[in-house]
């Protein structure tokens, strides 16, 4: 992966769940984003895409972002604690069964 193509988070991608800075283009511009390792090193893993769009850095962020969006949708409510079938299937495809 060429490092000259990476852009800082202020010009690029952020995690939809926790707003963590990612490297790469913002989701709306296409392309990929990468999650820097926890120690600030230079090993990157590719960020996953949330069911409703946007990049996420972890399973918890993926779940949180999907749930927040579903709670705002007509027919759902803030008391909702689980994801709909399609969003749950996407979560499992991204991160595996839990």
Provide CB contacts within 8 A for 15, sequence distance 6+. Answer: 22, 35, 47, 55, 56, 57, 58, 61
> Is the pLDDT confidence value at 7 over 70?
no
> Is the pLDDT confidence value at 1 over 50?
no
CB atoms within 10 A of CB 90: 19
Kindly report the pTM of this predicted structure. Answer: 0.81
Give the model's pLDDT for residue 77: 81
CA angle 73–52–24, rounded 5-degree value = 140
* Mean pLDDT of all residues belonging to the chain: 85
Give the model's pLDDT for residue 49: 95
> Is the pLDDT confidence value at 4 over 60?
no
Question: Which phi and psi angles does 3 have, rounded to 5°?
Answer: -75, -20
Taking only the tens place, the pLDDT of each residue in 30-70 is: 889 999 887 766 678 899 999 999 999 999 999 999 999 99
- Distance CA(18)–CA(4), nearest Å, equals 26
- Distance CA(84)–CA(54), nearest Å, equals 18
């Amino acid at each position: 992966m060429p490092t000259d193509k990476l852009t800082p988070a202020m010009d690029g991608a952020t995690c939809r769940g926790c707003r963590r800075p990612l490297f790469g283009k913002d989701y709306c511009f296409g392309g990929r984003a990468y999650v820097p390792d926890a120690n600030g090193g230079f090993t990157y893993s590719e960020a996953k895409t949330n069911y409703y769009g946007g990049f996420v850095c972890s399973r918890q962020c993926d779940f949180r972002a999907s749930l927040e969006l579903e709670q705002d949708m007509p027919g759902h409510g803030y008391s909702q604690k689980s994801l709909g079938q399609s969003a749950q299937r996407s979560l499992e495809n991204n991160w595996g069964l839990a």
